[in-house]
């Protein structure tokens, strides 16, 4: 499972961030227009790629895929749209949503997106003023991270692994359950996704003394563009 890791040193926490991201794919409904029918066929080919060629059989990706024909499609899409300007009937919707829950889902998505030349958007907590993580001017699919939200706190080593879909509030709560003297320098909004917040720097109220969130990343598990699952030790 993709994760982030947090390390605590006295009153400050270093964490390892894993950039494993869940995807949500959405297929457009068929219309009469030949161009739209061709687009739908291309989307189905992409979906077939995901399901049949690269998915880990022990962690099937099928339950993580949502198309516009799925009854839960709209609720999945809207659940992390924080800016209501982009929650309208005229806003372009993804043709597919993938809510990845395992690293193999991320790898499969990247492979198929490259193979079929599909535009991918990645959403963590949806706190995006311009909707960049879930809106596009051309056909796209959405990789949604909310299922990748496990948090493992280790007070003895003063570290923690945090998956990229966890929210800041969940991280703070998990730390507080383990210790009354440890903290992590990040933002004040509890529903902000850790993956997006940290990869964007991570401004917070402890910044003056402890710096940005990203300054405390000491390790990361990453799926790169070549679909390799990597771990990088930033201390080394």
Q: Looking at the predicted structure, is the pLDDT value of residue 179 above 60?
A: yes
Q: What is the pLDDT of residues 136-145, one digit of tens each?
A: 999 999 999 9
How far apart (Å, rounded) are the C-alpha atoms in residues 52 and 45? Answer: 10
Please tell me the pTM assigned to this model: 0.79
Q: Decide yes or no: CATH 3.10.129.10 for domain 34-144.
A: no
Helix extents (H) in 16-102: 34-49, 73-78
What per-residue confidence (pLDDT) applies to 54?
64
Question: For residues 138 and 145, is the Cβ–Cβ distance under 8 A?
Answer: no
What per-residue confidence (pLDDT) applies to 58?
83
Looking at per-residue pLDDT, the higher value among 14 and 65 belongs to: 65
Q: What share of the chain is helix, strand, coil (3-state, %, to 5)?
A: 30, 20, 50
- Coil vs helix vs strand at 105: helix
Count Cβ atoms within 10 A of the Cβ of residue 223 and give its class: 0-12 exposed, 13-18 middle, 19 or more buried.
buried
- Coil vs helix vs strand at 78: helix
Over residues 185-192, the mean pLDDT reads 95
Instruction: Please indicate whether the domains covering 5-19+148-233 and 34-144 agree at the CATH topology level.
Output: no
For residue 43, name the pLDDT band (cuts at 50, 70, 90). confident
- CATH of the domain spanning 5-19+148-233: 3.30.465.10
For the chain, the domains span 5-19+148-233, 34-144
């Amino acid at each position: 499972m993709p994760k982030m890791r947090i390390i605590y040193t006295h009153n400050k926490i270093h964490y390892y961030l894993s950039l494993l991201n869940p995807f949500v794919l959405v297929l457009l409904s068929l219309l009469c227009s030949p161009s739209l029918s061709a687009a739908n066929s291309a989307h189905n080919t992409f979906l077939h790629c995901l399901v049949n060629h690269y998915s880990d059989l022990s962690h099937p990706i099928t339950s993580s895929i949502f198309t516009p024909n799925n009854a839960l499609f709209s609720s999945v899409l809207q659940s992390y749209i924080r800016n209501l300007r982009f929650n309208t009937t005229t806003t372009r919707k993804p043709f597919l949503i993938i809510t990845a829950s395992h690293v193999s889902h991320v790898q499969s998505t990247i492979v198929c997106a490259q193979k079929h030349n599909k535009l991918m958007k990645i959403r963590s907590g949806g706190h995006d003023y311009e909707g960049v993580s879930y809106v596009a001017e051309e056909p796209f699919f959405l990789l949604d991270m909310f299922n990748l939200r496990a948090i493992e706190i280790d007070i003895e080593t003063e570290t923690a692994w945090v998956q990229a879909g966890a929210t800041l509030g969940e991280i703070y709560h998990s730390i507080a359950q383990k210790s009354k003297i440890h903290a992590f320098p990040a933002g004040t909004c509890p529903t902000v996704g850790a993956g997006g917040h940290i990869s964007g720097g991570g401004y917070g109220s402890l910044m003056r003394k402890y710096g940005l969130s990203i300054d405390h990343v000491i390790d990361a598990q990453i799926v790169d563009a070549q679909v390799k699952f990597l771990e990088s030790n930033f201390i080394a």
